[in-house]
Amino acid sequence: MAEKYTKIKKIYEGKAKKLYTLKGKPGVLLQEFKDDATAFNAKKKGTILNKGIINCGLTTYIFTFLKKRGVKNHLVKQISPNEQIVKRLKIIPIEVVVRNIAAGSLLKKTNLKEGQQLSKPIVEFYYKDDAKDDPMINDSHALAMKLANEKELNTLRQTASKINSILKPFFLKRGLRLVDFKLEFGKDNKGTILLGDEITPDTCRLWDKKTNKKLDKDRFRFDLGGVNEAYAEVRKRIIGK
Ligand code: TMP
Ligand code: ASP
């Protein structure tokens, strides 16, 4: 018989997902993906058709792939088109961004031009705090705020680099250039750092290998049109439907 999951309490509602505790299952949470989309710290709001289902399916596929390649993560299993069971983590409030090609906020901070290949991936930390607009921070800032210790910061950097080296060829095989992406990590009840959150066109920049067409949330952020189609195209290339 299929296992039963009874939601008890919504403990978090973010811009793209909700998290619920479950009856009789203290170690795990139910993660529900929404169709809502926001950008620029929720100054821009909308919905993307089927985004919850697409992003849930993509995250399950990619987290399963990463686990097989030795990247520990929070995924237990997907239980419905837009719901997953995930291990309960204490999220480290640092967003880890990895960049392979210049785009987005990197263009404002540097003299690099959009589309320029970086000779070496750039890894950046951002302090996850909406009230402060998620500012970029360095290790000293993270240590001063006690967000993590030195060893943990190195684990975040090394794990993010490893994920990049796995996902770059993964996407390229499917006709997509992994321009940049954002990761979140958390600690389980033993203090082990696991990858959490999601990996989707909301959190990655993905460009078509041949045409460099943007197939990610930048279409929503900058009103480029064809948003629903771009998400559906990424799903087709990765999951095959
Ligand atoms: P950025 O160029 O705006 O700094 O974004 C870098 C990557 O991080 C890009 O793939 C989009 C992703 N991202 C998020 O997932 N959430 C965010 O809040 C922001 C600002 C970026
Ligand atoms: N997710 C973030 C927000 O709502 C930013 C973004 O993805 O552009 O503001």
For residue 16, report the distance from its CA to the centre of ligand 2, in Å.
9
For residue 51, report the distance from its CA to the centre of ligand 2, in Å.
15
78-127 pLDDT, tens per residue?
999 999 999 999 999 999 999 999 999 999 999 999 999 999 999 999 99
Strand pairing class (117-127; 94-101): antiparallel
54-70 pLDDT, tens per residue?
999 999 999 999 999 99
Task: Identify whether 241 is part of a domain.
Answer: no
| CATH number of the domain within which 136 lies | 3.30.470.20
* Cβ of 104 less than 6 Å from ligand 1: yes
Q: Looking at the structure, tell me whether residues 127 and 82 fall in a common domain.
A: no
Boundaries of domain holding 152: 90-226
CA 164 to each of CA 6, 58, 235: distance values in angstroms, whole numbers, following the listed order: 36, 16, 19
Compute the chain's Rg from CA coordinates. 17
Q: Is 191 exposed, middle or buried (0-12, 13-18, 19+ CB in 10 A)?
A: exposed
- Which atom of ligand 1 is found nearest the CA of 217? 11
pTM across the whole model: 0.97
Cβ proximity of 30 and 20 under 8 Å: yes
| CATH number of the domain within which 52 lies | 3.30.200.20
**Dihedral sign (CA 144, 145, 151, 157):** negative
Residue of 18, 158, 31 whose CA lies nearest to 96: 158
Q: Looking at the structure, tell me whether residues 38 and 113 fall in a common domain.
A: no
